[in-house]
């Protein structure tokens, strides 16, 4: 009786899924067993430095924290020494990330937010960041943009003060990955997910091990308890 | 089973130890797993206290967000200590709510348990107060604006009440940290007193009905402990922000304005009940009235102490539990359009349950 209803429904779902997957890539970090994809996050750091750092600070991070993404201390020292701080000296691994240089007045008072915990603050996390970065389209007919705003289908309200920050080839990846806009957006979203939750991988690993451990112990304890009480009665 | 000399030495000198330590000699046959809740509360409280002591070493009340970020980025396993404290609080509050609900369901408050019951209510009150200060100390925007709202409310008072409220709240996070510590210690003391009082009034089972603690109850407590570990791992590993307003991920500052910041789930029922009454005095009055009503439960229940609770009584208690959960769910969704209508109704029902329905269903049984 149910089949005629279920089959079209299934077909609908099957048809809908690939379409959704095309718009937002799947992130290694999403889901209960997700982990930070260190290679993607390293590329994402390159994107941040090249395309976001001028406007957005990342005040919670020090350069040494990048070792958490699998960089060696020598690599981190190299990265830091290439960054000129406001007083003209080079950064060291123990410096906090360099503050943004563009004044907020540059965007008519729309303050570029600090990105340290943006992935935790916005529902959807990495997927939302990706959607905003790739959501720039020409404004639909009938919509008048506010001065120095851009139409963005993923941003609540549709009008964002951030100019489109990414374009194909904005960075050259060290690992040779082609730097398309979508690739850059996905990588920087993974990097920002790591920035707001640097222990995500360890948390999921430890959590899973503890679940298995306590689950196993629970069953053992239950058997023990049953045995003890059956002797008694 | 005879007690080991060392354990009976300790038992005779440390009040309350018998309730948590698996060395008490006998218990009634066939106790339920919920009987292990006080033991689990004690274990969780130790975890929260210990992680709090470690947090103290790196926490800086003058720059809370930055110091917590250093803890979770730069201190090895620092994030885990923070997670123990946060998820431990969730577990602790959940277990205390559960323990009190179990007390209501089984009429554990009846004579001679009145004093132990009142200490349990006191434990809940002090614990919730301590956890509000902890929520503010986290430095998130939710806590920040909850604190600002409390300051606004204090300014509506006059005279001594205003002076007292402002003395408590002004001075910023360094003062709140001291109050958080004081309240946490008080919660520890209330817990100790509660366990001791429970151990004192526990009925000695009739000879045929008794079994020794070891191995029977020891095995049961072990099962409960494993379940606690399982739930704790689930919370810490996969739901670290369960029941926290999303807003609290934003660092608190004047920029992150929120008219209705929301509360962590364990404070939400109280927040929703307080919000149902007009003004700051209305809210405080509601909270005090709730505490007094809970204190008075042993005398609002008119049935004789030994009578088991009737079917109707138990059904009403379950309904009360559902109403409190509904209040909490409502309270965690700031700006829910139903709240202004629903919250006062649900709050009134809570009072109706204790002040009218409870005496009514137990009255007939008194004769």
The whole-angstrom separation of Cα B27 and Cα B31 is: 8
The whole-angstrom separation of Cα B176 and Cα B133 is: 6
Domain residues of chain B, as ranges?
20-254, 267-367
Query: Measured at the alpha carbon of residue A192, what is the angle toward residues A190 and A193, in degrees to the nearest 5?
Result: 60
Cβ neighbours of B226 in A, within 8 Å: 214, 217-218, 221
- Using an 8 Å Cβ cutoff, are B86 and B279 in contact? no
Q: Is the C-alpha dihedral spanning A47, A48, A50, A56 positive or negative?
A: positive
Looking at the partner chain, which of B66, B73, B234 has a beta carbon nearest the beta carbon of A211?
A: B234
Output the CA–CA distances (angstroms, integers) from residue B228 to B41, B195, B221, B236, B274, in the order listed.
10, 19, 10, 12, 31
Predicted ipTM of the assembly: 0.87
- Dig out the tokens for A88 from the structure: 């003209």
Whole-structure pTM value: 0.88
Q: How far is A165 from chain B (nearest CA, A)?
A: 23
| Residue pLDDT tens, chain B, 367 long | 445 666 677 777 776 666 665 455 567 776 788 889 999 999 999 999 999 999 999 999 999 988 998 888 888 899 999 999 999 999 999 999 999 999 999 999 998 899 999 999 999 999 999 999 999 999 988 899 999 989 988 898 899 999 999 999 988 899 999 999 999 999 999 999 999 998 888 877 777 777 888 888 888 999 999 999 999 999 999 999 888 888 888 888 777 777 777 899 999 999 999 988 888 888 899 999 999 999 999 999 999 888 888 999 999 999 999 999 999 988 887 677 888 889 999 999 999 999 999 999 998 775 5
pLDDT, residue A102, reads 76
Q: How far is A147 from chain B (nearest CA, A)?
A: 23
For residue A2, what pLDDT band results from cuts at 50, 70 and 90? very low
The whole-angstrom separation of Cα A52 and Cα B234 is: 35
Look-up: residue for tokens 């208690």? Answer: B317
Interface test with A, best of B86, B225, B238 (most A CBs within 10 A): B238
> What are residue B28's DSSP bridge partners?
B210
Q: What is the mean pLDDT of residues A122-133?
A: 93
Cβ neighbours of B223 in A, within 8 Å: 218, 221-222, 225
pLDDT, residue B49, reads 96
Cβ distance A214 to B226 less than 8 Å, yes or no, reads yes
Closest to A221 measured CA to CA, from B220, B32, B216, B30:
B220
The whole-angstrom separation of Cα A222 and Cα A199 is: 33
Instruction: Return the percentage of chain A with pLDDT > 70, whole number.
Output: 88
The whole-angstrom separation of Cα B209 and Cα B193 is: 28
The whole-angstrom separation of Cα B71 and Cα B52 is: 13
- B20-254: in CATH 3.40.50.2020: no
CA dihedral A132, A135, A138, A144 (to 10 degrees): -40
Residues in chain B whose beta carbon is closer than 8 A to a beta carbon of chain A? 29, 66, 69, 72-74, 79-80, 83, 211, 215-216, 219-220, 222-223, 225-227, 229-230, 232-234, 236-238, 240, 246, 249-251, 255
- Report, in angstroms and rounded to the nearest whole number, the Rg of chain A calculated over CA atoms: 24
The whole-angstrom separation of Cα B2 and Cα B112 is: 27
Looking at the partner chain, which of A68, A215, A224 has a beta carbon nearest the beta carbon of B230?
A: A215
Pairwise pLDDT comparison (B252 vs A72), residue with the higher score: A72
Q: What DSSP character marks residue B301?
A: -
The whole-angstrom separation of Cα A180 and Cα A170 is: 8
- Using an 8 Å Cβ cutoff, are B94 and B207 in contact? no
Instruction: Search chain A and give the residue with CA nearest B76.
Output: A199
Q: How far is B305 from chain A (nearest CA, A)?
A: 29
Helices B279-295 & B141-155 angle (0-180, nearest 10): 100
DSSP annotation string for B237-264:
HH-TTTTS-GGGGSBPSTTS--SS----
Cβ neighbours of B67 in A, within 8 Å: none
Q: Please name the residues in contact with A76: beta carbons below 8 A apart, sequence gap of 6 or more.
A: A63, A64, A66, A67, A93
Q: How far is B230 from chain A (nearest CA, A)?
A: 5
Q: How far is A110 from chain B (nearest CA, A)?
A: 12
At B232-255, the pLDDT tens digits run 999 999 999 888 888 888 888 777
pLDDT, residue A10, reads 42
Residue burial B132-156, b: 16+ Cβ < 10 Å; e: rest: bbbbbbbbbbbbbbbbbebeebbee
């Amino acid at each position: 009786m149910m089949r005629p209803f279920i089959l079209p429904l299934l077909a609908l779902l099957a048809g809908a899924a690939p379409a959704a997957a095309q718009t937002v890539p799947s992130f290694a970090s999403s889901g209960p067993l997700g982990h930070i994809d260190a290679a993607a996050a390293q590329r994402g750091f390159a994107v941040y430095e090249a395309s976001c750092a001028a406007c957005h600070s990342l005040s919670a991070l020090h350069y040494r924290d990048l070792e958490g993404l699998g960089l060696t201390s020598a690599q981190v020292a190299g990265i830091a020494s290439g960054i000129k701080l406001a007083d003209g000296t080079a950064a060291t691994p123990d410096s906090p990330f360099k503050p943004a240089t563009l004044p907020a007045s540059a965007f008519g008072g729309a303050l570029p937010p600090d990105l340290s915990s943006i992935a935790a603050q916005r529902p959807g996390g990495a997927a939302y960041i990706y959607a905003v970065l790739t959501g720039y389209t020409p404004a639909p007919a009938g919509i008048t943009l506010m001065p120095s705003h851009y139409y963005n289908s993923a941003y609540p309200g549709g009008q964002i003060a951030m100019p489109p920050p990414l374009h194909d080839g904005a960075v050259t990846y060290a690992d040779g990955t082609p730097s398309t806009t979508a690739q850059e957006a996905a990588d920087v979203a993974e990097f920002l997910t790591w920035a707001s939750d640097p222990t995500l991988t360890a948390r999921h690993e430890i959590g899973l091990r503890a679940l298995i451990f306590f689950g196993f112990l629970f069953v053992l304890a239950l058997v023990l308890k049953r045995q003890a009480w059956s002797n008694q009665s | 089973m005879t007690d080991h000399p060392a354990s009976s030495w300790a038992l005779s000198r440390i009040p309350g130890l018998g309730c948590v330590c698996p060395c008490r000699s006998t218990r009634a046959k066939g106790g339920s797993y919920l009987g292990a809740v006080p033991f689990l509360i004690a274990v969780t409280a130790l975890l929260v206290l210990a992680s709090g002591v470690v947090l103290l070493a790196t926490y800086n009340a003058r720059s809370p967000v930055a110091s917590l970020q250093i803890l979770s980025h730069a201190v090895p396993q620092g994030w885990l200590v923070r997670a123990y404290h946060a998820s431990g609080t969730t577990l602790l509050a959940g277990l205390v709510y559960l323990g009190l609900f179990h007390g209501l369901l089984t009429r554990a408050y009846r004579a001679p348990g009145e004093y132990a019951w009142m200490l349990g209510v006191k434990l809940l009150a002090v614990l919730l107060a301590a956890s509000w200060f902890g929520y503010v100390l986290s430095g998130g925007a939710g806590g920040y604006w909850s604190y600002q709202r409390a300051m606004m409310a204090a300014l509506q008072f006059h005279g001594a009440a205003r002076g007292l409220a402002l003395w408590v709240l002004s001075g910023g996070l360094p003062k709140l940290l001291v109050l958080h510590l004081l309240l946490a210690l008080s919660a520890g003391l209330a817990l100790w007193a509660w366990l001791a009082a429970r151990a004192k009034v526990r009925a000695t089972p009739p000879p045929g009905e008794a079994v020794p603690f070891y191995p029977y109850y020891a095995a049961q407590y072990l099962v409960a402990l494993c379940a606690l570990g399982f739930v704790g791992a689930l919370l810490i590993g996969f739901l670290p922000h369960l029941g926290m307003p999303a807003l609290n991920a934003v660092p608190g500052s004047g920029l992150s304005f929120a008219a209705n910041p929301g509360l962590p789930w364990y404070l939400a029922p109280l927040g929703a009940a307080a919000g149902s009454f007009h003004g700051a005095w209305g809210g405080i009055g509601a909270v005090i009235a709730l505490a007094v009503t809970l204190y008075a439960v042993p005398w609002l229940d008119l049935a004789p102490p030994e009578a088991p609770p009737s079917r109707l009584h138990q059904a009403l208690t379950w309904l009360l539990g559902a109403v409190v959960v509904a209040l909490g769910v409502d309270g965690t969704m700031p700006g829910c359009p139903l709240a202004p209508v629903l919250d006062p109704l649900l709050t009134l029902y809570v009072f109706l349950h204790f002040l009218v329905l409870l005496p009514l269903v137990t009255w007939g049984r008194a004769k």
